[in-house]
Amino acid sequence: MVNTGKLVTHQLIKAKLKDKDFTILNIEKINKLGLLKAEGTSESIINLNHQFIHLTFQEYLAALRLKNQLKNKEDKSKAVNFIGEHRNDPKYLMALKFLAGIVNK
């Protein structure tokens, strides 16, 4: 869930977006927002790996994902298991703190 290496591969992004939304234009917009930056060189930005510019963005977005999973009947057990497994792991501390702050919003 939280990748401490901060890498976001194009396959992961594509898995989370519908194919019709996964266009070069949209990826360029995502990069221009400043949350992600592309790594490496390629003729197409879609083929590059991306990373969060700061781990805090990734941790907050991971907390949002967990919050959404907790609200979804199908995903709730996954989120509860994840939280239980990682509640004492320092690398997940900030994401879980963010979750505690947003869970009721």
pLDDT at 48: 80
Rg (CA), the chain: 15
pLDDT value of residue 2 = 47
Quote helix, strand, coil % in the chain, to nearest 5: 60, 10, 30
Q: What is the pLDDT of residue 45?
A: 75
Q: Give pTM, 2 decimals.
A: 0.69
Question: Mean pLDDT in runs of 10 for the chain (105 residues)?
Answer: 48 51 68 82 77 89 92 93 94 95 89
Distance from C-alpha of 74 to C-alpha of 54, rounded to nearest angstrom: 31
Structural domain boundaries in the chain: 7-53, 56-102
pLDDT at 25: 64
Q: Are 10 and 17 in contact (CB under 8 A)?
A: no
